[in-house]
Amino acid sequence: MWKWLKTLYHRLGSPKWFYQITGSWLPWFAGAAVVFLGVGLVWGLAFAPADYQQGNSFRIIYIHVPAAFLAQSVYIMMAVAGVVLLVWKMKMADVVAQSLAPFGATMTFLALLTGAIWGVPTWGTWWMWDARLTSMLILFFLYLGVIALREALQPQEVAAKACALLAIVGVINIPIIKYSVDWWYTLHQPATFTLTEKPAMPASMWVPLLIMLLGFYALLGWSVILRARAEVLKREYKAGWVKELLQRK
């Protein structure tokens, strides 16, 4: 198993192999995303029971929580790709990191937006300085920073390394920021009830949540592979296999 993973890792470092293998992965990710998201949506919207306190507005959880979860894990993936780029100098890691950034930013925005919409029936306002929403907002700025840095720096290799370093610095800082925001929140707004912290969710509520989460991950794979493949073609234009592929049509 370990050996298999190692070969996979080394092969994915080659743009040609990456392009070919992800091409065959694409339909699987697409199918999984459609199935999981479809089942999760129908189950979450129509079959899961309503919350005894929040009623049906609680169903927004099926978007909000997976989006927030993905937003954080995509940033961590970006930092891991950054380490791979800086330490092992694997260029494909940067292609993946670059493709991850817009998806992560979308997820952060989605978590913020659904949080705001959810806030109206729950708190009676569009925005509240809730600890989770505040850290999401900061994460959103972190994503914008990475994207802006890539736009600003010119030779591609320099932008790649700089973004990798920024993502690593960010991932070290995220727990500190999260901890400090939680501290700040308990200091200023003692114990109003948070959106998603529930005493114990019955299975009929959390199973669709899990399915939605899997669907979001499949969607992540789908979207990132699409972006990465276009980027590989652009960067490897001079390579023989790309020219061959383009001529084949």
- Site for other proteins, residues 90 to 109, rule: CB under 8 A: 99, 102-103, 106, 109
Q: Is 32 in the site for other proteins (CB under 8 A)?
A: no
**Can you name the residues that pair with 55 across neighbouring β-strands?**
51
Minimum Å distance from CB 20 to other proteins?
15
For the chain, report the end-to-end CA distance as a whole number of angstroms: 37
Which of 6, 31, 158, 189 binds other proteins (CB under 8 A)? It is: 158
Tell me the three state secondary structure of residue 130. coil
CA distance linking residue 18 with residue 9, whole number of Å? 10
Selected binder of other proteins within 157, 186, 210, 241 (CB under 8 A): 157
Structure tokens at 203: 């299975």
CB 37 within 8 A of CB 215: yes
Nearer to other proteins, 50 or 210 (CB): 50
- Encoded one letter per residue, x for contact with other proteins by CB under 8 A and - for no contact, window 219-238 reads x--xx--xx-xx--xx--x-
Tell which one of 6, 120, 129, 189 touches other proteins (CB under 8 A): 120
As given in the structure block, the two tokens for residue 122 are 């729950």
Residue (16 or 161) nearer to other proteins, CB = 161
Task: Mention every residue, 6+ apart, whose C-beta is less than 8 A from residue 72.
Answer: 139, 174
CA quadruple 82, 145, 18, 231: dihedral sign: negative
Shortest reach from residue 212's CB to other proteins, in Å? 10
Check residue 129 and report its DSSP letter.
Answer: -
CA distance 170 to 164: 10
Q: How many residues bind other proteins (CB under 8 A)?
A: 76
Shortest spacing between CB 28 and other proteins, in angstroms: 15
Phi, psi of 51 (to 5 degrees): -75, 145
185-214 positions binding other proteins, by CB under 8 A: 187
Number of CB atoms found within 10 A of residue 182's CB: 14
The interface region with other proteins, picked from 4-12, 71-79, 150-158, 191-199 by CB under 8 A, is 150-158
**Judged by CB, which is closer to other proteins: 32, or 226?**
226
Cβ proximity to other proteins: between 11 and 243 the closer is 243
